Amino acid sequence: MSVRSRVPVAVGIDVGSTNTKVVALAGEGAVVARASRPTRRAGGDLAIDAVDLVAAIEDMVVEVCAGGRELHALCVAGIGEDGVLVDAELTPVTPALPWFDPRRQDEFRRIRPDLHGDDTFDVDTDPVRSLVGWRWARAQPGADRAAAWIALTDLPSVLWTGRPFLSDTLAPRTAAWRSRDRAWDTDRVDLALGDAALLPPVVPTGGIVGEVSSPSLRAAGIVAPDAVAVAGGHDHPIGGWGVDLMVPGAILDSMGTAEVVVAQSPTERRRGTDHVDV
């Protein structure tokens, strides 16, 4: 099949707590192919092996682009709190501690007395949040080689473009980012992560991160010369935004490993009034 006759597609990826899904969409928005695999775990541990996860995602991207499709854009949505420490080459040096892992309870109890100002953040301060995972990651083998912390959902696009970033729908899930003034709480970052320099720039969801330069995807012959990765983020708000575009005013009951009811608002609302965690 000639290059001119290939069908251009955009690929959407959902990194879920249980399964990771990939879809290819044609220009009019129709899903033309899909793939799904269990989210990769580190052996018998609940922690996620980020390297294996990205490799599985790339395999699925190649799969959905088979049959004469050409990749023009990629975007990843998914888990809100999980992340990894990476080295200067962006290689993960720690596993990703899942938001539901019981080990988070002990880590949270250790730092809870020193966490203040709960009402200034977009989410409750509890064991689920990324800052608890930061604390755990710092104690893992390899953490001394860390150059950055990357959210697991953003990691594929970070690797495909070589540009570290954090989606602005994931930053609030850390319980250390204040959306009202778009700033990190330095006390919380110092306590949990130890060094604010490990945090990448926070970028708007929907913005272009950079050119897709993944060697494995390029080698598969499916990538358009000008293909780009787009910043995704937290699956629930992105899903709610997509549903609202299709059915304005609709309320989404997002059911997966966690269930969240999501509604869109034309105006900014205060914390706790625009979503309900079920």
By DSSP bridging, strand 223-234 and strand 208-211 are antiparallel
Which residues are CB-contacts of 268 (< 8 A; sequence separation ≥ 6)? none
Kindly state the average pLDDT of the residues 51-59: 95
Name the DSSP letter for residue 44.
Answer: T
**Residue type, position 235, single letter:** D
pLDDT of residue 225 exceeding 60: yes
Identify the CATH class of 3-277.
alpha beta
Least confident span in 71-80, 175-184, 242-251? 242-251
Domain limits of the chain? 3-277
- pLDDT tier for residue 5 given thresholds of 50, 70 and 90: confident
How confident is the model over 185-197, as pLDDT tens digits? Answer: 999 999 999 999 9
- pLDDT tier for residue 277 given thresholds of 50, 70 and 90: very low
Kindly state the average pLDDT of the residues 252-272: 67
For position 133, what pLDDT does the model report?
97
Max CA-CA distance within the chain? 63
- pLDDT tier for residue 40 given thresholds of 50, 70 and 90: confident
Kindly state the average pLDDT of the residues 236-252: 80
Determine if the pTM surpasses 0.85: yes
For position 246, what pLDDT does the model report?
80
pLDDT of residue 53 exceeding 90: yes
For position 213, what pLDDT does the model report?
94
**Residue type, position 208, single letter:** I
For position 261, what pLDDT does the model report?
82
pLDDT of residue 3 exceeding 80: no
In the chain, which residue ranges form alpha helices assigned H by DSSP? 50-64, 103-111, 130-138, 155-161, 186-192, 215-219, 235-246
Mean pLDDT of the chain: 90
Q: Which two tokens stand for residue 66?
A: 């088979």
pLDDT of residue 158 exceeding 60: yes
Contact 182, 120 (CB under 8 A): no
How many other C-beta atoms lie within 10 A of the C-beta of residue 98?
23
For position 254, what pLDDT does the model report?
72
